[in-house]
Amino acid sequence: MDAILAAANEIIIAAGLEQLTIREIARRTGIPSSTVYRYFKDRDEIAASFLDREMEAMDLATAEAVLKLKRVSFRSLLAAGMFAHLEYHQAHPAIVPVWFSDSRSPLVSDRIKQMDARTGAWLAEAVEKTGMVAEDAPDYQPDLFTRLGDRALEYILTNGFSIESQNEQMGRYVDMVASYIEQFLTERGVVGLPTTEFFAALGDRPSHFEL
């Protein structure tokens, strides 16, 4: 299966998502189409499995970025997560058309929605358990932030900007969102707390990701 997914990566980079077919995978790998069909029903399942693998790697990259922080505030947590995703997409361009294509399959869309929901739920738990959010704060809807983050990534990654410009625009996005949310945070939400204390409050789990 690894050879099939590696071929999918090559096809998407070289020719685009539209050219991802089981016939083309068989041609590139030498694996008979009938064998490919034993693993995947159609190209949508291949794209979804390819994305599953890449999302696991992005989760790991995000967890590592958070673990490198000396102090965790809402702003630093948001920046670590968003830049980890941006940098992973920059280094693995085949993900971009799979993730952001207007014609992506319902199967792929469902994978992305699941990741958004999982990330949003962890963010809500993290800021609440660590006392970052004021008790009288309105519902800040973490699911909305994950969806907004997706849209920011889509805009930054699909409009032909240079890497330098992409990074600058992500910095502006993080600043815009953090500046708004900070009005609803406690002092520790703004100033942050030591990373070890942050994870201790979450039960010593480095993130919502399964490492």
pLDDT for residue 204: 58
pLDDT at 207 over 70: no
For residues 88-98, average pLDDT: 91
pLDDT at 106 over 80: yes
pLDDT for residue 173: 96
Listed residue (42, 149, 55, 57) closest to 106, CA to CA:
42
pLDDT for residue 122: 87
pLDDT for residue 211: 39
Would you place residue 82 in the very low, low, confident or very high pLDDT band (cuts 50, 70, 90)?
A: very high
pTM for this entry: 0.87
pLDDT for residue 198: 93
pLDDT per residue as tens digits for the range 124-145 = 889 889 999 998 888 767 778 7
For residues 65-92, average pLDDT: 95
pLDDT per residue as tens digits for the range 185-202 = 999 999 999 999 999 998
pLDDT per residue as tens digits for the range 8-40 = 888 888 887 788 888 989 988 999 999 988 888
pLDDT for residue 206: 55
AA letter at 33: S
C-alpha span between 146 and 119 (Å, rounded): 7
| DSSP codes, 94-149 | THHHHHH-TT--HHHHHHHHHHHHHHHHHHHHHHHHTT-B-TT-----HHHHHHHH
pLDDT for residue 209: 46
The CATH number of domain 53-201 is 1.10.357: yes
pLDDT for residue 210: 44
Query: C-alpha 1: how far from its chain's center?
Result: 23
C-alpha span between 150 and 108 (Å, rounded): 14
Residues of the chain within CATH 1.10.10.60 domain(s) are 1-40
**Domain topology for 1-40:** Arc Repressor Mutant, subunit A (1.10.10)
Helix (H) or strand (E) holding 192: none
pLDDT for residue 190: 97
Residues of the chain within CATH 1.10.357 domain(s) are 53-201
Q: What mean pLDDT, rounded, does the chain reach? A: 89
pLDDT per residue as tens digits for the range 31-75 = 999 998 888 888 889 888 988 989 999 999 999 999 999 999 999
